[in-house]
Amino acid sequence: MKVLVAVKRVVDYNVKIRVKADQTGVETANVKMAMNPFDEIAVEEAVRMKEAGKATEVVAVSLGTPACQETIRYAMALGADRGILVQTDQELQPLAVAKLLKATVEREDPGLVILGKQAIDDDSNQTGQMLAALLDWPQGAFASKVELGDGEMDVIREVDGGLETVKLKLPAVITADLRLNEPRYAKLPNIMKAKKKPLETIDAGETGVDLEPRLVTLKVNEPSQRQAGIVVESVSELVDKLRNEAKVI
Ligand code: AMP
């Protein structure tokens, strides 16, 4: 079974985000970029399936500018066999990403597609669900454990107040939650080997997919600064401040 994994290039999660001076978005120029952390978990799960003899090939796909090749190479250093870059300079919103992924799925015919549950830049949490709907495939979003069977898979999902187990008929789409696994680090020899793995580029414009954004960002604001705290001398002073200053009791 072939497994397709979607990997997005985002601002590294260690970077302190800065809003652009004109408030149109966040600063990405000269900022360290990395693979979306949930996508690392998705790659790890696919690679483990291959190592367990349950998957035959792991294909990493990224959509965006040529810089996304770096993200695909990293997926290959983690164990993906080959990569596909669906290239465009246009801003991609989740619906366009899902449509481009659908076109890639139709071309590659995988038995399973794994995405991250959410990209940490737009925090949309939409692409996996939209892709499953467009393909009319079963979906297991927020997977925290998966068990591959014969032509089907059990997915344990993190839901409010507990865990839900669903059985999906393959082919299916799943999205990786934080507890699905702990991704490995890419070792230097594997980073070197990844440079030689095949990476194909497809022009997004040639897929015939409508990439037009459906949303317009009006304004991006910095979170408001937290006020410094104060140390109170006694419980009665605390109660007094909560009652008369903060007016919360
Ligand atoms: P989102 O719906 O934007 O929160 O993204 C959810 C998941 O969709 C991510 O974790 C990725 O697996 C996938 N994804 C979103 N955008 C892209 C992209 N440009 N290239 C590859 N995968 C993407």
- Check which CATH number belongs to the domain holding 192 and give it: 3.40.50.620
Q: How far is the CA of 36 from the centre of ligand 1 (A)?
A: 8
Q: State the residue range of the domain holding 12.
A: 2-223
pLDDT, one tens digit per residue, over 164-181 is 999 999 999 999 999 999
Q: What pTM was estimated for this model as a whole? A: 0.91
**Ligand 1 centroid distance, CA of 22 (Å):** 26
Map tokens 């317009």 to a residue. Answer: 216
239 Cα: distance to centroid of ligand 1 (angstroms)? 47
Q: Which atom of ligand 1 is nearest to the CA of 129?
A: 2
Is 120 within the bounds of a domain?
yes
> Does position 160 have pLDDT exceeding 90, yes or no?
no
**Would you say the CB of residue 75 lies under 6 angstroms from ligand 1?**
no
The verdict on residue 230 lying in a domain is no
**In this predicted structure, what is the pLDDT of residue 192?**
97
Q: Is the CB of 6 under 6 A from ligand 1?
A: yes
Residue 82 falls inside a structural domain: yes
* Residue 127 pLDDT: 98
**Rounded CA separation 3/210 (Å):** 25
Q: Please tell me if the CB atom of residue 63 comes closer than 6 angstroms to any atom of ligand 1.
A: yes
Does the pLDDT at position 227 exceed 90?
no
pLDDT (average), residues 203-207: 95
Q: Which atom of ligand 1 is nearest to the CA of 5?
A: 12
Say if 182 falls within a structural domain.
Answer: yes
Confirm or reject: Cβ of 87 under 6 Å from ligand 1. Answer: no
The percentage of the chain sitting over the pLDDT mark of 90, rounded to a whole number, equals 90
46 lines ligand 1 (CB under 6 A): no
Q: Is the CB of 130 under 6 A from ligand 1?
A: no
Per the domain annotation, does 246 fall within a domain? no
- Asked if residues 138 and 152 have their Cβ atoms less than 8 Å apart, the reply is no
Based on the structure, what is the number of domains in the chain? 1
User: What is the C-alpha separation between 84 and 198, in angstroms, rounded?
Assistant: 9
What pLDDT is attached to residue 226? Answer: 85
Instruction: Say yes or no to pLDDT of 224 above 90.
Output: no
Q: Distance from the CA of 94 to the center of ligand 1, in angstroms?
A: 7
Mean pLDDT of 194-222: 94
pLDDT digits (tens, 9 = 90+) for 108-140: 999 999 999 999 998 999 999 999 999 999 999
Average pLDDT of the residues in 96-118: 98
pLDDT at 225 over 90: no
Residue 241 lies inside a defined structural domain of this protein: no
Q: Which pLDDT score, from 0 to 100, does residue 155 have?
A: 98
d(CA 192, ligand 1 centre) in Å = 26
Per the domain annotation, does 234 fall within a domain?
Answer: no
Could you list the beta-strand ranges (E) of 96-138.
Answer: 112-116
Question: 226: which DSSP letter?
Answer: P
Going from the Cα of 191 to the center of ligand 1, the distance in angstroms, rounded, reads: 23
Q: Would residue 248 count as lying in a domain? A: no
Q: Is residue 143 scored above 90 in pLDDT?
A: yes
User: Of 100, 122, 92, 40, which is closest to residue 213 (Cα–Cα)?
Assistant: 92
Q: Is the CB of 36 inside a 6 Å radius of any atom of ligand 1?
A: yes
The percentage of residues in the chain with a pLDDT greater than 70, rounded to a whole number, is 100
CA–CA separation, 110 and 165 (whole Å): 23
- Ligand 1 close to Cβ of residue 118 (< 6 A): yes
